Structure 1
Amino acid sequence: MSIKIIKMPHLGESVTEASIALWLVSEGDKIDKYDPVAEAVSDKVTTEIPSNYSGIVKEFLIDLDTDVEIGTPMLSIETDDAEEAGESEQPFGAESPSAIEKKEEMTDHINKEIDEAAEKKPIERDTKASIQQSVSAESEPMADKKARYSPAVVRIAQERDIDLKQVEGSGKHGRITRKDVLNFDVKSQTAANGDLHKGSLQVQKEMIEREMSKKTETPSEQAASYTTVGDEVVPADRIRKAIARKMVQSTSEIPHAWLMVEADVSNIVKLRNKTKDRFKELEGITLSYFPFFVKAVVQALKKHPIINASWDNGNIVFHKDINISVAVATEEHLFVPVIQHTDHYSLSGLSREIDRLASLARDGKLGNQDTQGGTMTLNNTGSFGSVQSMGIINHPQAAILQVESITKRFVPTEDGGFKAADMINLCLSIDHRMIDGLQAGRFLNDVKENLQKFSDESDLY
């Protein structure tokens, strides 16, 4: 038997932390390789994490709803050595064995050079020893505090049930090398070391808890100065914190500019009223107005690629793909899934894809592939009655378009009279570092013209 560790996997680009929202197994459960063991929440995505091993669930190493860094040990599995021999040693989201091997060899080489340098420079030896002792005390739970073990040595010792205090080191000053551990006879250890893994895991868990305590969470302390007796202070959940960070990043890094145009969408209203019943019968979903706006924006983006670009440290990145992010609101949060290659869809295809993404968002089942790569955002603020708003740009994008409510208004006609029309406001926020008012105005006017080109005979397919 041996103990294997499942770590918090990489859950998406720019994701550095995540938390466990739900354990799908209990301690003591027997599981097979690839069985889901937990639901992890990363910013705006909930993802099931599979096991890399078959065995018995030994211990949960982190608490629910606690943010931890990617790569943090989260679960221990007791495996059968016979079964383990045929299984991959590479964890979900981890580096390849060859890459790890190279890093370990490099670590040993660096440690050797450090020793040699210390011999040549006696004055610096005390400083070096102090640093090594500090690192050992924090990151090597199996080691005596006076010993110095490389991460490779510790990892192999943990995997092979080896007590490093019983290993004779062949390196300089008695340092234990990888070869020493690999050549060590496990059977020669005393029975007293049978509980080594259990102790190691306990220390590892304590280390994680200690690290988490270093991440001082100040919202409650800060909130105290703004509260009075009887107020309720509720900690924000993982998703709300992610949204907050994103909004602060956008408003602090992006100089926003805003403009608005109004468009006559009477023809779209007629087309939808004419086709919605048949569409519902054929597709099983409701035909909304939103796909028409997405289509009009995509057509305009092809003429104005600067709107489909991003600012990157003094460079402007023009994206070859048009991937529209669509805002989806739930009772508690706002999600922004992405329609990949939006320009490849017909109106009916857009309707189906928007419905699919909205359903996943409301059910909390969006995957990483559903939220990555957006190049511009559309927000259907009109769905809750808004007639004018200023959106915050979805960093690192360059623009967000707020589609407001359709309202009946009297508009002038060419013969000097008036007529009732279905009108809508289109509100655009832009990154003023790269987009000027002239470019934004031309883009908005093209969106307006594209909307007004629809007729009650336009094809949905």
Structure 2
Amino acid sequence: MIEIKVPELAESITEGTVASWLKQPGDHVEKGEAIVELETDKVNIEVPADESGTLDEQLAAEGDTVQVGQVIARLSSGSGGGTAVATKTKAEAATETAPAPAETKTEEVGEAKKVERREEHVASPGKGPIATPAARKLAREKGIDLSAIQTNDPIGRINVHDVTNHESKPAPAQAPQAPKAPAAATQPTASGKDEERIKMTRRRQTIANRLVEVQQTAAMLTTFNEIDMSAVMALRKRRQEKFIKDNDVKLGFMSFFTKAAVAALKRMPYLNAEIQGNEIVLKKYYDIGIAVSAPDGLVVPVVREADRKNFGEIEKDILHLADKARNNKLGLSDLTGGTFTITNGGVFGSLLSTPILNGPQVAILGMHSIQLRPIAIDAETMENRPMMYVALSYDHRIVDGREAVTFLKHIKDMIEDPEQLLFEA
């Protein structure tokens, strides 16, 4: 018997949640093939099989919290040949359970009882339908009677997949019954309006806890400015075709703001720092976090050594990390170690916001929508210009207002005159 354990996840992560079982009991598993997907505070991790075999038991249901080192499944070892072997095994099992001639009835009954006793020992010591422990647990949580569940398993064993399928089936029509008091969980609210309760994912809980922690531990303040985007937009229009040809990626706004942020951080080093106890740690490297909206919540993958990369390399990194985030493929190494963060609420239409710090960092730059607004060019001239509000939230414990305002002014100057970026960063 091969035990599948929760692997070491990361230095600071000791537990995870079973997100989904990729294999069901009875399925053949090749060595290195993923069996289960675990959700941690930061990323989803697929747990592979160390050896080939058949999945016998799932010892945790989807949604269960599991600890590092905990056994969550068992495989029976074997050198099977993949799908063909699994199919053959099911066919043989079906043949063995087919009706037998009368003269062998007594012998078959004896074998059936042996099988039943073995299955009860594996699944549950109690009487009733044969089911895996994980299936029994899930059925209890859902309030489902195991005897009402149908299974295609050759020996009649109910697994988690059968319970899930049963729950998704529409309930059969029933004759009208006398009304009775609803269960407490389904009682209407005092206002008589419908409500739905959804359990927060582990990642959403982590995001919530960390945002509250930052609000409680940092002296957070936000300063604002606005940027005329005319020069950058004109430059992108002139250079876009050649940029795509040379780099196989579009020239966006994020690379300009990333390069501008690096240049401004070099002038204002206390914004590229963190507090550890009673010490200030000034970072001499520039790993810039780029906030990305993923299916399970906001994540901040990191563009490493942004000061050493050109516009094309930065755009490629951002595109690659955003794609991994949206497909839940980010690794822990993609998310750790950032020194400063940029978030762009403008992609969702935000005109102005106050971004929250991404602890333990002490500053975050917020970009917003570009809108045409009338701007006074001089005492007599007004022009419609594409303008963007920008915001800098910072930890006032080590960053003073002068530094924050100066930092944001540097960003404004470099974006309005992007040729400066050739000399500054």
TM-score (norm 2): 0.69
Say if 2:268 is the partner of 1:270. no
Q: What is the identity, as a one-letter code, of the residue corresponding to 2:361?
A: Q
Query: The residue matched to 1:443 in structure 2 has which SS?
Result: helix
Alignment-derived partner of residue 314 in structure 1: 278
For residues 359 and 389 of structure 1, the distance between their equivalents in structure 2, rounded to whole angstroms, comes to 25
**Superposed CA RMSD:** 3.6
Is contact 2:376-2:383 (8 Å) kept? yes
For residues 440 and 380 of structure 1, the distance between their equivalents in structure 2, rounded to whole angstroms, comes to 19
Deviation at 1:248, TM superposition (A): 1.9
Compared with structure 1, are the counterparts of its residues 202 and 50 closer, same or farther at alpha carbon in structure 2 (3 Å cutoff)?
A: farther
Comparing 41-50 with 409-418, which one deviates more in the overlay? 409-418
Say if 2:58 is the partner of 1:60. yes
Comparing 385-394 with 16-25, which one deviates more in the overlay? 16-25
For residues 205 and 234 of structure 2, the distance between their equivalents in structure 1, rounded to whole angstroms, comes to 42
Compared with structure 1, are the counterparts of its residues 333 and 416 closer, same or farther at alpha carbon in structure 2 (3 Å cutoff)?
A: same
TM-score (norm 1): 0.64
Alignment-derived partner of residue 26 in structure 2: 28
Alignment-derived partner of residue 349 in structure 1: 313
Deviation at 1:200, TM superposition (A): 9.7
For residues 245 and 123 of structure 2, the distance between their equivalents in structure 1, rounded to whole angstroms, comes to 58
Cα deviation code 1:184-239 (max 9, x no counterpart): xxxxxxxxxxx99x979989x79xx8xxx9xxxxxx99xx9898542222222233
Matches within 5 A, 1:122-137: none
Is contact 1:27-1:58 (8 Å) kept? yes
Count of aligned residue pairs for this structure pair: 335
Alignment-derived partner of residue 363 in structure 1: 327
Deviation at 1:270, TM superposition (A): 0.4
Matches within 5 A, 1:322-341: 322-330=286-294, 333-341=297-305
For residues 31 and 294 of structure 2, the distance between their equivalents in structure 1, rounded to whole angstroms, comes to 35
Alignment-derived partner of residue 231 in structure 1: 195
Cα deviation code 1:372-400 (max 9, x no counterpart): 11111111111122221001111211111
For residues 20 and 227 of structure 1, the distance between their equivalents in structure 2, rounded to whole angstroms, comes to 36
Alignment-derived partner of residue 345 in structure 2: 381
Match of 1:257 among 221, 224, 238: 221
Cα deviation code 1:321-361 (max 9, x no counterpart): 21111111246622211112222221111111111111111
Q: Percent identity?
A: 31
Deviation at 1:50, TM superposition (A): 1.9
Is contact 1:267-1:455 (8 Å) kept? no
Query: The residue matched to 2:205 in structure 1 has which SS?
Result: helix
Say if 2:246 is the partner of 1:246. no
Match of 2:15 among 9, 14, 17: 17
Cα deviation code 1:132-163 (max 9, x no counterpart): xxxxxxxxxxxxxxxxxxxxxxxxxxxxxxxx
Query: The residue matched to 2:62 in structure 1 has which SS?
Result: coil
Deviation at 1:414, TM superposition (A): 5.5
For residues 209 and 394 of structure 2, the distance between their equivalents in structure 1, rounded to whole angstroms, comes to 20
Query: The residue matched to 2:385 in structure 1 has which SS?
Result: strand
Cα deviation code 1:426-447 (max 9, x no counterpart): 1011112221212211211222
For residues 65 and 18 of structure 1, the distance between their equivalents in structure 2, rounded to whole angstroms, comes to 10
For residues 432 and 225 of structure 1, the distance between their equivalents in structure 2, rounded to whole angstroms, comes to 44
Q: What is the identity, as a one-letter code, of the residue corresponding to 2:391?
A: C
Alignment-derived partner of residue 414 in structure 2: 450
Alignment-derived partner of residue 48 in structure 1: 46
Compared with structure 1, are the counterparts of its residues 332 and 25 closer, same or farther at alpha carbon in structure 2 (3 Å cutoff)?
A: closer
For residues 15 and 218 of structure 2, the distance between their equivalents in structure 1, rounded to whole angstroms, comes to 24
Q: What is the identity, as a one-letter code, of the residue corresponding to 2:261?
A: V
Q: What is the identity, as a one-letter code, of the residue corresponding to 2:363?
A: A
Say if 2:67 is the partner of 1:69. yes
Structure 2: runs of 5 or more not aligned: 80-116, 126-132, 142-183
Is contact 1:271-1:456 (8 Å) kept? no
Alignment-derived partner of residue 165 in structure 1: none
Structure 1: runs of 5 or more not aligned: 82-194, 214-219
For residues 15 and 200 of structure 1, the distance between their equivalents in structure 2, rounded to whole angstroms, comes to 32
Query: The residue matched to 1:6 in structure 2 has which SS?
Result: strand
Structure 1 runs of 4+ off > 6 angstroms? 198-203, 224-227, 456-459
For residues 393 and 378 of structure 1, the distance between their equivalents in structure 2, rounded to whole angstroms, comes to 10
Cα deviation code 1:54-96 (max 9, x no counterpart): 4332211111122223332212233469xxxxxxxxxxxxxxx
Cα deviation code 1:397-429 (max 9, x no counterpart): 111111112222333346764444332221011
For residues 366 and 75 of structure 2, the distance between their equivalents in structure 1, rounded to whole angstroms, comes to 49
Compared with structure 1, are the counterparts of its residues 437 and 201 closer, same or farther at alpha carbon in structure 2 (3 Å cutoff)?
A: farther
Deviation at 1:33, TM superposition (A): 3.3
Q: What is the identity, as a one-letter code, of the residue corresponding to 1:327?
A: A
For residues 291 and 393 of structure 1, the distance between their equivalents in structure 2, rounded to whole angstroms, comes to 21
Is contact 2:355-2:393 (8 Å) kept? yes
Match of 1:412 among 376, 385, 397: 376
